[in-house]
Structure 1
Amino acid sequence: MDYIEEFTPHAEAIAELFAATFTASEGAEEGALIGALARRLIAETPTENMRVVTAWEDGALLGGIFFTRLTYAGDPRKVFITAPVAVATAHQGKGIGQRMIAHGLDALRQEGVDIAVTYGDPAFYSRVGFKPVAEVDLPAPQPLQQPQGWIAQSLTDAPLTPLRGPARCVAVLDDPALW
């Protein structure tokens, strides 16, 4: 498996992967929403605020993950949110998502990012080190429909301590329908 962080040449294939994966698991409406989200993230988010990791095998795109900057007004730590993540339906259950997330988190760690946070299934993300956090300790940029899915991990040797100030995500994610 090859992990590629250069995403521009593969932008449409990445967006189609997200649309197809979420359509298969959540229905056509969610597939359209997440496919459009992937397209907008690629087109509208400045590269200094986003990392994309894709997994490839024999020229086929198997998975993709976005990491985008999350800032806290009163806290200097570097924080990135891990979302969305998709693995092609035919390749799910093989550990591809976990390995891709681990690769991306290692890259962020090497860049000096302090904390990774995500909003997803705690049972899945706990396999790659994420733990539940309270919104009072790590404020979300929008009200959460499912607060139990707000999870994070320290990417340094320092323990995860509360972040100060309101949170701000990249503009494309700043949509209540996504939270």
Structure 2
Amino acid sequence: MLIRTEAPADILVIDRLLKSVFETDAEADLVMALRENGQLTLSLVACDDDGAVVGHALFSPVLIDGNDLSWQGLAPLAVAKSHQGSGVARALLTEAFLTLPQFGYPACVVLGDPAFYSKFQFEPASAVGLECQWEVPEGAFQVRSLTEASLATLLDGVSGLVEYSAEFNQL
């Protein structure tokens, strides 16, 4: 499996992948809007041995209490149904969590299943005083440091509402 950054030729392939994995086109539309509006920080694809795109992970900027701390939001993460459970998501996230800090992005938030994301060192965001801009189930909004620094150090006294790019409000 090869993990690499998105190329222009991948755009429609990613769109098809997202439409096949999620119940609606909302995530595919979100990715297109983030890309078109320059709100895409990192877009990775996973390719199988034949070169077909079988996974995708996208990161975009978030604000914390109105402050730009260079934190990122993971959304969406998608793996082709035929490849789910085979380590594609782990490979995508491993690469992302190595790449993002190299470009000065110290932490990441995600809205998702705590049982899944805890495998990747995510913890409840409420534990460090962060809350999601949307009403979500307890524990579903999570955070992790991408560096050696603790979340408390990275926050440096900032806490409160985490806001995603405006494109997310169209979901």
Name structure 1 gaps, 5 residues minimum: 23-29
Q: TM-score by structure 1 length?
A: 0.83
Q: Are 1:41 and 2:26 an aligned pair? A: no
Q: Distance in 2 between matches of 1:74 and 1:43?
A: 23
1:125-140 matches, cutoff 5 A: 125-134=117-126, 137-140=129-132
Q: TM-score by structure 2 length?
A: 0.86
What SS is found at the alignment partner of 1:93? Answer: coil
Which amino acid in the other structure matches residue 34 of structure 2?
L
Q: Distance in 1 between matches of 2:67 and 2:35?
A: 27
Contact 1:7-1:52 within 8 A present in 2 as well: no
Q: Distance in 2 between matches of 1:43 and 1:108?
A: 21
Query: What displacement does 1:89 show?
Result: 0.2
2:15 maps to 15
Q: Distance in 2 between matches of 1:17 and 1:35?
A: 8
Q: Distance in 2 between matches of 1:130 and 1:166?
A: 18
Name structure 2 gaps, 5 residues minimum: none
Q: Percent identity?
A: 29
Specify whether residues 102 and 144 from structure 1 end up closer, same or farther in structure 2 by C-alpha distance, changes over 3 A only: farther
Q: Decide which of 18, 37, 42 is 1:51's aligned counterpart.
A: 42
> Where does structure 1 differ by over 6 angstroms across 4 or more consecutive aligned residues?
none
What SS is found at the alignment partner of 1:105? Answer: helix
